[in-house]
């Protein structure tokens, strides 16, 4: 069953605008990751935030994590047409649960 659920399912913006995607999950996690998938390609890791972190930055990406609300958000600032892709959140759990659980993704379209 899916752990993370992204919202919205699809988002269309103009180049230069900011894009915000949200992810909610149900059980406790060790970390939460965001991946990007361009059409017809494999997933590419963007950023990992651990359960004891609240915010993390990487270039134009900003990720927040609120463990009390079991939610995360991914902000892409000053979007570009090349940011057009599907974005997935994935939650990681520790112990013997050696796997990531992926959400269904948000399709972001950035119009030139």
Partner 1 sequence: NAGVTQTPKFRVLKTGQSMTLLCAQDMNHEYMYWYRQDPGMGLRLIHYSVGEGTTAKGEVPDGYNVSRLKKQNFLLGLESAAPSQTSVYFCASSLLAGSDTQYFGPGTRLTVL
| Interface map 29-68 toward partner 1 (x if CB under 8 A) | -xx-x-x----xxxxxx--x--------------------
Angle at 88 between CA 27 and CA 33, to 5 degrees: 60
β-strand pairing of 55-58 with 61-66: antiparallel
Residue 66 Cβ vs partner 1, minimum distance, rounded to whole Å = 19
Query: By the 8 A CB rule, do 45 and 35 touch?
Result: yes
Q: Which one of the spans 16-24, 55-63, 66-74, 86-94 is the region binding partner 1 (CB under 8 A)? A: 86-94
The number of residues that bind partner 1 (CB under 8 A) is 27
Query: By the 8 A CB rule, do 35 and 23 touch?
Result: no
Residue 3 Cβ vs partner 1, minimum distance, rounded to whole Å = 10
103 makes contact with partner 1 (CB under 8 A): yes
Distance of CA 13 to CAs 53, 65, 92, 110, Å? 29, 24, 30, 5
Contact residues toward partner 1 (CB under 8 A) are: 1-2, 30-31, 33, 35, 40-45, 48, 88, 90, 92-94, 97-105
């Amino acid at each position: 069953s899916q752990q993370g659920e992204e919202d919205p399912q699809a988002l269309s913006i103009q180049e230069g605008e900011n894009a915000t995607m949200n992810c909610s999950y149900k059980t406790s996690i060790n970390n939460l990751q965001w991946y990007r998938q361009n059409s017809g390609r494999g997933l590419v890791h963007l950023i990992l935030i651990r359960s004891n972190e609240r915010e993390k930055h990487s270039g134009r990406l900003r990720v927040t994590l609120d463990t009390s609300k079991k939610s995360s958000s991914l902000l892409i600032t000053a979007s570009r047409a090349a940011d057009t892709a599907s974005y997935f959140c994935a939650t990681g759990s520790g112990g013997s649960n050696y796997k990531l659980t992926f959400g269904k993704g948000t399709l972001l379209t950035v119009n030139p």
